[in-house]
Amino acid sequence: MPLDTTNDTTSEEERLAELGITQTLDRSMSGRQNFAVSFTIISILSGCLTMYGFGMNTGGPTLIMWGWVLVGLMTLFVGLAMAEVCSSYPTSAGLYFWARKLAPQKSAPAWAWFTGWFNTLGQVAVTAGIDFGAASFLNAYLNLQFKYAATPGHTITLFGLILLLHAVVNTFRVRIVGFLNTVSVWWHLIGVVLIVGALLIIPDKHQSPGFVFTEFVNNTGWGSSVYVALIGLLMAQYTFTGYDASAHMTEETKNASVEGPKGIVRSIVVSWAAGFVLLFGLTFAIQSYSGALESGTGVPPTQIFMDALGATTGKLMLLIIIGAQLFCGMASVTANSRMIYAFSRDGALPFSSVWHKLHTGTRTPTNAVWLAAGGAFVLGLPYLFNSTAYAAVTSIATIGLYIAYVIPTLLRLRQGESFQRGPWHLGRWSKPVGVLAVTWVVVITVLFMLPQAAPVTIETFNYAPIAVGVVLAFSGTWWLATARRWFLNPTHPKNSTPPLPASQGATR
């Protein structure tokens, strides 16, 4: 894969100008910080562990381990295909802008419109999933330490407070967020070493390798083992989301056409390897499978730590995980707000003029930050009456993001040799990698719309199809009613207003 090692901020600004965008965001992030954003959002200490109880019930150890291997490989194909397009179009608009540039001219606005809406849905849902998971683990810790019971009301309260914290942090300059994301990488890697080391050394008893890699468990109520195995892939696939953050941060990254793609791919590879080690260590150390599932904390990994390591060490491990999840949620709000900022720059969201403003002092999209946090909170509220709401939120995040991820890849495949490659590209591997990526996303989109528990009741209903359908219906109606006439149409009177000053947003 030929790479351009140029590190010239001016050339990146000129590239943005060629794409019709004026540099307004603060371009101060390094390539390492760009990688750190995506790695932090993938967050194996968040996704793997918050969904671990789902995995224990839906396939058990064999799906937890081998599902991670399979999903990680297929995610790498998706990420490689995305990275190639990112190199050609390094803009915070990311996926929807790519779709616009890669689609046939006549239908380009429609492709961009729906890609953007799926990306927005997925970004908001993944922020909800991450911070809800952090709230669940924090509630488990507070229950153990201070008897603050793990009730839906308490968890939602903590969820709201965490989102508030992340919104406030993201109102500061991007340099601060970039520094915290760099700290987060080391927190995650050292945390995994400490947790796995403790789980391997301290317990007197461990599970056998046969249990870790071959034990199948089905507590879903469904009779088909194949069906359960397929829906059980959600644990791993949800964890591997959010790496499009490297693309959304390119307008704030130096040498973005190279460092953005590298950030996408590196975050997947490092997470894949470290996640396998983490999952092995946790599954290997299970003392009582049924006891972990029936834990009063509502978070099975918490009970596994307590059983295997004792109360004091178990709580310490729990604090390491909570810290990683807080870093993860912070980075997710960052990426989410940049997507909202860019999409509203083209008028694609209600009240777009509000969301694409930048704070004059920090040059950050402060209003978009608060919309990202508020939207995530709304998605988490059904947990007050739906016991499977968290799994539904993760399904929404996975479906929304992966549809948005793969549309540019599909359009790039349709372009064939006419695709204008950036300095980072796949060469002759571009087509086979793209075909595998598109096929995989079609499969998981269907899988994660399906019911996850039987019998299907109001308490167990997977509301992911409803959430996706509502967004699709809203965006589709708006498109047919008016947006098809003005969206990305520079000749329409709606888009003929004077350019915004640099403190307000980018011009098109």
Domains of the chain and any CATH numbers: 30-339+397-441 (1.20.1740.10)
From residue 206, alpha-carbon distances to 48, 191, 304 in Å are 20, 21, 12
Closest by CA to 373, choosing from 410, 336, 426, 408, is: 336
Give me the pLDDT at residue 284, please: 97
> Cα(103)–Cα(107) distance, rounded to whole angstroms?
7
User: In whole angstroms, how large is the CA radius of gyration of the chain?
Assistant: 22
Q: Which of 325, 347, 465 is nearest to 398 (CA)?
A: 465
Are 149 and 143 in contact by the 8 Å Cβ rule? The answer is yes
How would you classify residue 294: left for phi > 0, otherwise alpha for psi between -120 and 50, otherwise beta? alpha
What was the pLDDT predicted at 232?
95
Amino acid at 207: Q
d(CA 105, CA 109): 8
DSSP 8-state code for residue 207: -
What is the distance between the terminal CA atoms of the chain, rounded to a whole angstrom?
32
Residue 217, SS3 per DSSP: strand
Question: Which contiguous run of DSSP H or E holds residue 210?
Answer: helix 209-214
Whether residue 121 contacts residue 402, with contact meaning beta carbons closer than 8 Å, is answered with: no
CA distance 363 to 250: 15
**Facing residues of 217 across strands?**
59
C-beta separation of 281 from 294 below 8 A? no
DSSP string, 311-327: HHHHHHHHHHHHHHHHH
**H helix and E strand count, the chain:** 23, 2
Per the structure block, which two tokens stand in for 472? 């699709």
The angle formed by the CA atoms of residues 465, 123 and 501, to the nearest 5 degrees, is: 135
Give one DSSP letter per residue of 16-29, joined into a string. HHHTT----S---B
Identify the residue whose tokens are 């790498």: 76
- At residue 493, the pLDDT reads 66
Assign 104 to helix, strand or coil: coil
Distance CA 304, CA 292 (A): 6
Token code pair at residue 351: 């009240």
Largest CA distance in the chain: 73
C-alpha 217/C-alpha 212 separation (Å) is 12
Task: Note whether 297 and 303 are within 8 A (CB).
Answer: yes
CA dihedral 40, 157, 152, 447 (to 10 degrees): -30
pLDDT per residue of the chain (508 residues) written in tens, 0 to 9: 444 434 444 577 777 788 777 777 777 788 888 898 888 888 899 889 989 999 999 999 999 999 999 999 999 999 999 999 999 998 877 788 899 999 998 999 999 999 999 988 888 988 999 999 999 999 999 999 999 998 999 999 999 999 999 999 998 877 788 788 888 889 999 999 999 999 999 999 999 999 999 999 999 999 999 999 999 999 999 999 889 888 878 888 888 899 999 999 999 999 999 999 999 999 999 999 999 998 877 789 999 999 999 999 999 999 999 999 999 999 889 888 988 988 898 889 998 889 988 877 777 889 999 999 999 999 899 888 876 777 788 888 899 889 999 999 999 999 988 898 889 999 999 999 999 999 999 999 999 999 888 888 877 888 888 888 888 999 999 999 999 999 987 776 666 544 443 333 332 2
Neighbours of 431 (CB within 10 A): 14
